[in-house]
């Protein structure tokens, strides 16, 4: 069957169309993406304003038309931290439902972490042993650890690259004092939960998902996305530590000129790098591997798991 996953995230609204069957690997058929930056459309009270909701409704309708054009049988719509944490989330969801017919499933941070972990487990398989999975989104950071498909521990922290950039790094390039304050904040927040994971013992394999990690790996020398999903891509803490001060001295335009960095994400890359560096340092990770699958694939896999067998 042809499924569509409609991901309303903090940075983008992304429709991923796949040909999927129980027991088989989902095959990507089409991708429709729009930069919306919901996390940046929150007003001082933490609400998504009228213009932001207008844009969200319009973007979802465009995605639904793309899904229809591609012959999608079922759309799985979900939203993450930008909607979850908006003070007017209930009103936004009602309006989206009334004007698009879509009932967005607002995932909790814990659900995000667990579904992303499921995707990584299916990608790497049982032979990967105990997995530590790290995902940096626009609004939150998810970390999960476990041996099975359901992690032993999963947490979500308010350390998304877009959120932190808006709140802590107003300059372009940012002031050194602001970078230092953000670095201290990120490390303090992550340090609070490290013990919840280390009591399970060291992981056998550390993996990372998300656009932030993919871009950091690319500027550190990893293979281009054009070389395919099955090329192994990694990121070392040493390389990241060398890049963080360089990114801190760049403008968004400078970062956009780096290999693999998109214009829409360039301004957030430094904040994402600070989070990645802190997580790798505090968890004692010297090197991690980039996983091509993440939350969207986790949603698809969970849906397939609940389909009746033919």
Q: Does residue 72 share a domain with residue 165?
A: no
Q: Does residue 149 share a domain with residue 52?
A: no
Do the domain assignments include residue 168?
yes
Do the domain assignments include residue 192?
yes
Q: Does residue 96 share a domain with residue 36?
A: yes
Neighbouring C-alpha atoms within 13 Å toward the C-beta of 16: 19
Do the domain assignments include residue 258?
yes
Q: Does residue 135 share a domain with residue 81?
A: no
Q: Does residue 266 share a domain with residue 214?
A: yes
Domain range enclosing 68: 2-106
Q: What is the pLDDT of residue 24?
A: 85
Q: Are strands 105-106 and 74-79 parallel, antiparallel or unpaired?
A: parallel
Q: What is the pLDDT of residue 44?
A: 80
CA distance 225 to 233: 10
CATH of the domain at 87: 3.30.420.40
Structure tokens at 163: 């959120």
CA distance 223 to 218: 6
Q: Kindly report the backbone phi and psi dihedral angles of residue 283, in degrees, each rounded to the nearest multiple of 5, phi listed first.
A: -95, 0
Q: Does residue 261 share a domain with residue 130?
A: yes
Q: Look at the chain and report how many structural domains it folds into.
A: 2
pTM over 0.85: yes
Do the domain assignments include residue 20?
yes
Strand partners, 33: 14
Q: Kindly report the backbone phi and psi dihedral angles of residue 279, in degrees, each rounded to the nearest multiple of 5, phi listed first.
A: -65, -45
Domain final position from 106, 140, 161: 106
Q: Does residue 129 share a domain with residue 31?
A: no
Q: Does residue 242 share a domain with residue 164?
A: yes
Are residues 163 and 10 in contact, defined by beta-carbon separation less than 8 angstroms? yes
CA distance 17 to 132: 28
Do the domain assignments include residue 115?
no
Q: Does residue 219 share a domain with residue 177?
A: yes
Domain final position from 41, 76, 106: 106
Domain final position from 72, 106, 140: 106
Give how far Cα 22 sits from Cα of 28, 123, 302, Å.
15, 15, 10
Q: Does residue 145 share a domain with residue 192?
A: yes
Find the length of the chain.
310
Are residues 160 and 137 in contact, defined by beta-carbon separation less than 8 angstroms? yes
pLDDT in tens, 230-266: 899 999 999 999 999 999 999 999 999 999 999 889 9
Structure tokens at 175: 């002031």
Are residues 274 and 186 in contact, defined by beta-carbon separation less than 8 angstroms? yes
Q: What is the pLDDT of residue 310?
A: 52
Cis check for the bond before 223: say yes or no (omega within 30 of 0): no
pLDDT in tens, 109-138: 999 999 999 999 999 999 999 999 999 999
Q: What is the pLDDT of residue 36?
A: 87
Do the domain assignments include residue 308?
no
Q: What is the pLDDT of residue 84?
A: 93
Do the domain assignments include residue 300?
no
Q: Does residue 182 share a domain with residue 42?
A: no
Q: Does residue 58 share a domain with residue 202?
A: no
Give how far Cα 56 sits from Cα of 53, 59, 142, 267, 292, Å.
5, 5, 24, 22, 27
Burial class of residue 187, CB neighbours in 10 A (0-12, 13-18, 19+): middle
Query: Which pLDDT tens digits describe the chain residue by residue (310 residues)?
Result: 899 999 998 889 999 999 988 888 899 999 999 988 887 777 888 899 898 899 999 999 999 999 999 999 999 999 998 899 999 999 999 999 999 999 999 999 999 999 999 999 999 999 999 999 999 999 999 999 999 999 999 999 999 999 999 899 999 999 999 999 999 999 999 999 999 999 999 999 999 999 999 999 999 999 998 898 889 999 999 999 999 999 999 999 999 999 999 988 999 999 999 999 999 999 999 999 999 999 999 999 999 988 766 5
Do the domain assignments include residue 301?
no
Place of tokens 């487990």: 121
Q: Are strands 205-209 and 287-290 parallel, antiparallel or unpaired?
A: parallel
Q: What is the pLDDT of residue 22?
A: 85
CATH of the domain at 264: 3.30.420.150
């Amino acid at each position: 069957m042809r499924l569509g996953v409609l991901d309303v995230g903090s940075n983008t609204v992304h429709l991923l169309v796949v040909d999927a069957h129980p027991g088989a690997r989902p095959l990507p058929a089409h991708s429709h993406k729009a930069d919306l930056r919901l996390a940046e459309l929150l007003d001082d009270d933490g609400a998504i304003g009228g213009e932001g909701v207008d844009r969200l409704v319009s973007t979802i309708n465009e995605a639904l038309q793309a899904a229809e054009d591609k012959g999608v049988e079922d759309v799985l719509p979900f939203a993450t931290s930008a909607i979850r944490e908006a003070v007017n989330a209930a009103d936004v969801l009602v309006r989206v439902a009334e004007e698009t017919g879509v009932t967005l499933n607002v995932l909790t941070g814990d659900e995000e972490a667990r579904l992303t972990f499921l995707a990584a487990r299916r990608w790497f398989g049982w032979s990967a042993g105990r997995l530590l999975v790290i995902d940096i989104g626009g609004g939150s950071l998810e970390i999960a650890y476990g041996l099975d498909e359901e992690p032993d521990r999963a947490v979500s922290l308010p350390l998304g690259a877009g959120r932190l950039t808006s709140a802590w790094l107003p300059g372009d390039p940012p002031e050194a004092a602001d970078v230092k304050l953000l670095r201290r904040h990120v490390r303090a927040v992550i340090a609070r939960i490290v013990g919840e994971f280390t009591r399970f013992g060291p992981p056998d394999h550390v993996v990372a998902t998300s656009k932030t990690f993919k871009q950091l790996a690319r500027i550190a020398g990893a293979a281009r996305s054009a070389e395919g999903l099955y090329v192994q891509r990694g990121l070392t803490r040493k390389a990241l530590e060398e890049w963080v001060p360089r990114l801190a001295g760049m403008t968004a335009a400078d970062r956009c000129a780096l290999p693999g960095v998109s214009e829409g994400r360039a301004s957030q890359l430094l904040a994402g790098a600070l989070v990645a560096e802190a997580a790798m340092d505090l968890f004692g990770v010297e090197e991690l591997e980039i996983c091509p699958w993440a939350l969207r694939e986790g949603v698809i896999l969970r849906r397939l798991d609940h389909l009746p067998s033919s």
